[in-house]
Amino acid sequence: MNEALLKKHIQSYLGHLRKNPEKHRADLEERQKRVIGFQAWTRERLLALDADGLYEYLAPLWAMLIWGNKHYVTDKLIDNNGLPVLRAELAELLWGSAPVAKRWDRFRQKVKGIGPAMISELLCHTHPDQCAIWNRRAYAGLNYLGVEKLPRYDYQMDGKRYEVISAQVGEIVAALRVSGDTDANMLTADYFIWDELQVESNLSRMFDKETSVEVVKDAATASDAPFVHDEIRDKLAAIGTWLGFNSRVEVKVADGSKVDTVWESTIGNMGRVIYVFKVQTKGSIDSLIINLLKSLNNPAVQGVVAVSDAAQIEKIKKHSASVPGLSGKLKYWDYLEVLAIHDALALVNEKINSLGLVPQGF
């Protein structure tokens, strides 16, 4: 970490707060209110969550700003995981006795639809002296400070990396305290990163294909390939939702056959339109083709899409070229593009939803 650059920005940040004491007071009150609110969700309270309680718990998260209808998100989490699993795993994540790295990895393995941004925010708001917030803004800020080997994709953020990043953000906290903000914690550091370290060139580099290709290509054969698969599956579902479709993951299309993501829309009283996606990180291409063929037995399916890296897409094209009924309907999507489109749409939705133009329903 570039300590001179960090010190420069800390002096700038504290100088702005001194010139605007009202902002300092408001930020401090907001941080305290958030910590008190989330710490009130004890293990016992989390284990007693119902659907309304889950909404009440998750809706205030900044990571939820990308969703206009937060009830839709919590309903999907319940559909995809079940309330008993969500109760138990949230309680273990936030209040378990194991090291945070192990709790992180367990939660990621057992719960679908809650990614590193939301997980880290829950941890930080509950344990602000130990746990950092990780999201694209944190990436941009730490990258600007010269921190190396930052995880670009969600699948790269395992428990060990989260512990390392929390320690690195802890260095910012220590520097803030030395400079005069004696009450600084991980949540303070997050406000500092947002106010001082958002450099547009670093944000845009997250989508740089040249710097991303090797990371994703290596993952296709690595032990973390299942996490790449799940990340792409879930982001396909989010993209579909933002485009106005009803999105589902791990949908059964026939006995013994599932597809990863489905986008579905009802057109008036005319019927349904369905698009099917199968993510291929490794494994049998023949199996992928069979699953997509079976999905085409449903007359509402208007398109099937194979999602993979460029090299595997070429293999899929060759395998499917001679398959009757598939070659003319099968589309291909590089999952680097999926990641970039997801992040771009997430930013758009976050900005629009932050305007508060559409209030939440009951």
pLDDT at residue 236 in the model: 93
- Domains of the chain: residue spans and CATH: 3-206 (no CATH), 219-344 (3.40.1350)
Helix (H, G, I), strand (E, B) or coil at 149: coil
Overall residue count recorded for the chain in this entry:
362
Judged against a pLDDT cut of 60, whether residue 207 lies above it is answered with: no
- Starting at the edge strand that comes first in sequence, how are the strands of the sheet with 271-279 ordered? 246-254, 257-267, 271-279, 301-308, 330-334
Please give the structure tokens belonging to residue 197: 């370290």
In this prediction, residue 171 has a pLDDT band, given cuts at 50, 70 and 90, of: very high
- Going by pLDDT thresholds of 50, 70 and 90, the confidence category of residue 210 is very low
pTM of the full structure: 0.78
Residue 160 CA to residue 39 CA, distance in Å, equals 24
pLDDT at 213 exceeding the cut of 50: no
Distance CA 250, CA 47 (A): 26
Task: Assess whether pLDDT exceeds 90 at residue 258.
Answer: no
The region, left, alpha or beta by phi > 0 then psi within -120 to 50, assigned to residue 356 is left
User: What pLDDT is attached to residue 311?
Assistant: 87
> Residue 214: is its pLDDT beyond 70?
no
- Tens of pLDDT along 137-163? 899 999 999 999 898 888 889 999 999
The whole-chain average pLDDT of the chain stands at 86
Q: What is the pLDDT of residues 222-245, one digit of tens each?
A: 445 555 888 899 899 989 988 889
Angle value at C-alpha 237, between 212 and 115, nearest 5 degrees: 65
Burial class (CB in 10 A: 0-12, 13-18, 19+), 284: exposed
